[in-house]
Amino acid sequence: MASITRTIREQVTNQIRDDVVACNFAPGTPLREGELAERFGVSRGPIRDAFLQLSQEGFLAYQANRGVTVRQAPDADNRDFIVSLRQQIECYVIRRGLRQLDDAGLAKIEAALRELKLACAGDDVAAVARCDMGFHAAVMLACDGEDFLPVWKLLCSQMLLAYTRLNNYEQVFVEHVEILQALRDGKKRVAIATIKANIR
């Protein structure tokens, strides 16, 4: 029973997150437990749990007298700084941990790339964003960067509030192919350059 409840909570959380990323909920939009519970056909418990998790992830915010709202995207200057921080983390992880990359790690990155390809073909912004981050998370884990994942995820959530890779999904996919190839070849400088070019 607990696993079923967890699955419902995860499904609700994932759908609300996707709606935020796809701008189905505009920044500042109040989210109501009752309305969402009716939409998903669940009790208010999973909605409340989703609100808590997504607030911790940085997608939602609690405001006095307004309840839970969709968090505003960072302004241009703050977003540039967030992008810079994320680039630094991922490049540091590759610089320090590329030697740790093994066949198992490469296989997980390749699997993430296949998921990204399917998402790009489906023209689904939320799926593309999710798989984009999934690819980079796989790289981080494969290069021994697990310690950096908590802060990295918060930076990613702020970027996803204004996901910019909407115009050319084919280019998004090609950039990730280039990252994988550089990692597979063990070319550290190329991998770092392709990562920096991709994160924007």
Structural domains of the chain sorted by starting position, each given as residue range(s) with its CATH number in brackets: 2-70 (1.10.10.10), 76-198 (1.20.120.530)
Handedness of CA 100, 104, 106, 108 (dihedral sign): negative
Q: What is the pLDDT of residue 165?
A: 66
Q: What is the pLDDT of residue 26?
A: 87
36-94 confidence digits (pLDDT tens): 999 999 999 999 999 999 999 999 998 777 789 999 999 999 999 999 999 999 999 99
Query: With contact defined as beta carbons under 8 Å apart, do 74 and 82 qualify?
Result: yes
Q: What is the pLDDT of residue 64?
A: 73
Residue ranges of the chain with pLDDT lower than 50? 1-2, 4
pTM of the entire predicted model: 0.88
Query: With contact defined as beta carbons under 8 Å apart, do 158 and 79 qualify?
Result: yes
Q: What is the pLDDT of residue 166?
A: 63
Q: What is the pLDDT of residue 37?
A: 94
Cα separation, 149 vs 146, in Å, equals: 5
* Segment (H or E) for 62: strand 60-63
Q: What is the pLDDT of residue 167?
A: 67
b/e code 165-193 from CB counts within 10 Å (16+ = b): beeebeebbebbebbbebbeeeebeebbe
